[in-house]
């Protein structure tokens, strides 16, 4: 079967590789976002998908507008059976979605209809879900509302961060995508419409969304911190400076302290902060201009005091 692959970030790369490795699938073209300036030198750099496509010697288009007339003509000339989309980053017009002979297919990092939108991995962890997964679906003009094809579940561990879960879902999603194409081609899949009554939305996050609310229960704070790692990064304020929190541990304790108050400064136990129903150890933190450090190193270097209030 002939496909055109659309993708851009790291999440898309395992899918591209797995599809390229399958003898029954021919990738006629890879389409990705245009190169952007990165790093201190501000050099133009291709997306992760663009870089991998070059490594695999695949035909590549790096374009800002998938819906331009010129691009539509190129896509029509390929006569692809399927368009395969994995975190591409541009919205398709219906005219473009109608180009493939059989179907446009998308991989989404949640168990739809749960967590439609841009941040499904973050929200699954922040909300304390015990499982998530990936879904392949037909692409519709409405955001993540197309008919579902296949799903694969994955247990969320307490040790999972967004970064770790992202990588796991990228891998199982790649396998599911190949399986979906092969079973679609064999006529083994009956598309299933989504139940809109079960749907919720995972909006795009920005840096400000990482602010920790210590007025929440300890477990919610714990989930919030790992649900913002590595991006946008959970943070609070210490003596007016932004303090990023990369790792935390729930501390079982009874206290009546103000949420956000440092209730213990101990080289062995850590930096213990009060929450709505207990406390949490800020096990790994980072101040502006410094490296990530353990609670022990932070205590030794900055001498925080019991009774100080974080978040101000």
- The residue with greater pLDDT, 97 or 142, is 97
User: What are the tokens at 12?
Assistant: 């898309």
H helices then E strands: how many in the chain?
Answer: 8, 17
What is residue 113's predicted lDDT score, i.e. its pLDDT? Answer: 98
211-226, pLDDT tens digit by residue?
Answer: 999 999 999 999 999 9
Q: Where are the domains of the chain?
A: 2-202, 207-302
What is residue 128's predicted lDDT score, i.e. its pLDDT? Answer: 98
Report H helices in 82-161: 94-97, 120-126
**In sequence order, what are the residues at sequence separation of 6 or more whose Cβ sits closer than 8 angstroms to the Cβ of residue 123?**
115, 202, 227
User: Percent of the chain scored above 70 by pLDDT?
Assistant: 100
Nearest to 92 by CA among 30, 46, 139, 35: 139
Q: State which H helix or E strand residue 28 sits in.
A: strand 26-32
Query: What pTM, to 2 d.p., does this model score?
Result: 0.96
CA 233/CA 221 separation, integer angstroms: 13
Annotated binding residues, written as ranges, equal 110-113
Answer whether residue 82 shows pLDDT above 90.
Answer: yes
**Cβ atoms of 30 and 83 closer than 8 Å:** no
**Cβ atoms of 110 and 12 closer than 8 Å:** no
What is residue 40's predicted lDDT score, i.e. its pLDDT? Answer: 75
Annotated binding residues for (6S)-5,6,7,8-tetrahydrofolate, written as ranges, equal 110-113
- The residue with greater pLDDT, 74 or 43, is 74
Polymer length of the chain? 312
Q: What's 207-302's CATH class?
A: alpha beta
**Which residue bears the tokens 């331009």?**
68
User: What are the tokens at 119?
Assistant: 């941040």
For residue 67, is the peptide bond before it cis, meaning its omega torsion is within 30 degrees of 0?
no
What is residue 301's predicted lDDT score, i.e. its pLDDT? Answer: 96
What is residue 116's predicted lDDT score, i.e. its pLDDT? Answer: 98
**Which residue bears the tokens 């679906």?**
137
Architecture of domain 2-202: 3-Layer(aba) Sandwich (3.40)
237-273, pLDDT tens digit by residue?
Answer: 999 999 999 999 999 988 889 999 999 999 999 999 9
Residue 281 DSSP one-character state: E
What is residue 174's predicted lDDT score, i.e. its pLDDT? Answer: 99
CA 48/CA 219 separation, integer angstroms: 35
């Amino acid at each position: 079967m002939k496909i055109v692959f659309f993708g851009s970030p790291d999440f898309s790369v395992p899918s591209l590789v797995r599809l390229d490795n399958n003898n029954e699938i021919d990738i006629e073209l890879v389409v990705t976002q245009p190169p952007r300036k990165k790093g201190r030198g501000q050099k133009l750099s291709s997306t992760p998908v663009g870089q991998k496509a070059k490594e695999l010697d695949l035909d590549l288009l790096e374009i800002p507008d998938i819906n331009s007339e010129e691009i539509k003509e190129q896509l029509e000339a390929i006569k692809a059976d399927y368009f395969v989309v994995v975190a591409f980053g541009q919205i398709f017009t219906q005219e473009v979605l109608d180009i493939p002979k059989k179907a446009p297919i998308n991989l989404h990092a949640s168990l739809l209809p749960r967590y439609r939108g841009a941040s499904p991995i973050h929200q699954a962890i922040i909300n304390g879900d015990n499982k998530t997964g990936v879904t392949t679906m037909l692409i519709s003009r409405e955001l993540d509302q197309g008919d579902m094809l296949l799903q694969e579940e994955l247990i969320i561990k307490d040790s999972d961060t967004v970064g770790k879960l992202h990588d796991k879902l990228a891998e199982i999603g790649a396998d599911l995508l190949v399986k979906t194409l092969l079973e679609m081609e064999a006529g083994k899949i009956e598309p299933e419409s989504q139940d809109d009554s079960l749907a919720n939305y995972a909006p795009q996050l920005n840096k400000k969304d990482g602010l920790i609310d210590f007025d929440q229960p300890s477990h919610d704070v714990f989930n919030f911190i790992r649900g913002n790692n590595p991006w946008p990064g959970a943070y609070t304020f210490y003596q007016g400076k932004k303090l990023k929190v990369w790792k935390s541990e729930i501390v079982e304790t009874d206290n009546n302290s103000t949420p956000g108050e440092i209730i213990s400064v101990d080289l062995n136990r850590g930096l213990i902060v009060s929450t709505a129903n207990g406390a949490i150890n800020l096990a790994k933190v980072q101040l502006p201009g410094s490296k990530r450090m353990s609670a022990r190193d932070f205590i030794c270097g900055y001498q925080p005091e019991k009774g100080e209030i974080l978040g101000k």
